[in-house]
Amino acid sequence: MATPAATKRLTKEYASITKSPPPYIVAHPSEKNILEWHYILTGPPDTPYDGGQYWGTLMFPPDYPFAPPAIRMHTPSGRFQPSTRLCLSISDFHPKSFNPAWEVSTILTGLLSFMTSEEMTTGSVRASEQERKLFAQRTRWWNSTGGGSKQMSTQSSNSRGIGGIKAGDGGAKFRLEWPETDEENLQWMKEKRIDSATGLPRPVQSSSQLHCSPEVAGLRRRPGASATVVHDAAQIARDAGQGWLSRNKWKMVLGAMMMYILVARVLGDGAVSMST
């Protein structure tokens, strides 16, 4: 439980950071515990984190500001191990180096500065620039779905304790602390056709898959059409598939018979003339 001095200090800092938030940073205390703060860092331009939405927590000790908070970043970034306590000069790893004059905005500005550097410490990881850009593209999806799974956990031994978030919680904790941002993320996923299970864009069906050929469409029975119409359409289709010879064979037979009779008559008249 926070001391009266810690409660007064953190209440004052919340008013200050709300009125004048540092660039790329928003933060607020949890409604249930003023010692538990949630922040979102927006990846600055000209960095591999550009446009990314990085959510994390600050867990303040009851005697703050005379001791520093535990700092975690839950969103996978390619820079820090998710939900793992970070060893920084402004974190609980170095209580003797913490200056009581530092505020929440000072701590988060320092975290953002460290994030965009390449300095290594406990809780940081190495990744290529391209990998970090890919992580940045998936941050909104991860925050609002918990990574698309309710089974997987990425907590390590260094992430135990109050403030650790299990990956795969379905986005429940993020939704509780950032309801409006969560709604914006879900709308963004809908517009971008992002699959909530994988975080990848859904394939778009081509027009050839959505429409059948004209020949087949012509044989479909329309609503309200009579059986006669359907029968006539089928007959036309059958006739179109038959050859000219097949359709006119009886005319050809009749013509051949008439030709035979005509030739026989001509030959018969010729024979009578010769005998005369």
SS (H, E, C) the chain: CCCHHHHHHHHHHHHHHHHCCCCCEEEEECCCCCCEEEEEEECCCCCCCCCCEEEEEEECCCCCCCCCCEEEECCCCCCECCCCCCCCCCCCCCHHHCCCCCCHHHHHHHHHHHHCCCCCCCCECCCCHHHHHHHHHCHHHHHHHCCCCCCCCCCCHHHCCCCCCCCCCCCHHHHHHCHHHHHHHHHHHHHCCECCCCCCECCCCCHHHHCCCHHHHHHCCCCCCCHHHHHHHHHHHHHHHCCHHHHCHHHHHHHHHHHHHHHHHHHHHHHHHHHC
At residue 245, the pLDDT reads: 55
- Looking at residue 270, its pLDDT comes to 56
Domains located in the chain, CATH noted: 4-191 (3.10.110.10), 209-275 (no CATH)
Question: Mean pLDDT over all residues of the chain?
Answer: 82
> 225-263 pLDDT, tens per residue?
444 444 444 454 445 445 555 556 666 767 777 777 776
168-179 pLDDT, tens digit each: 578 999 999 999
Is the pLDDT confidence value at 187 over 90? Answer: yes
Encode pLDDT of 50-105 as tens digits: 999 999 999 999 999 999 999 999 999 999 999 999 999 999 999 999 999 999 99
Structure confidence at residue 223 as a pLDDT band (50, 70, 90): very low
Q: What is the pLDDT of residue 269?
A: 59
Mean pLDDT of all residues in 262-276: 61
- pLDDT, residue 259, reads 78
Q: Which of 26, 87, 230, 233 is catalytic?
A: 87
Give catalytic status of residue 212 as yes or no.
no
- Over residues 134-169, the pLDDT tens digits come to 999 999 999 999 988 544 444 443 444 545 565 557
Question: With bands split at pLDDT 50, 70 and 90, how would you rate the model's confidence at 26?
Answer: very high
- Please tell me whether the overall predicted TM-score, pTM, comes out greater than 0.75 for this model: no
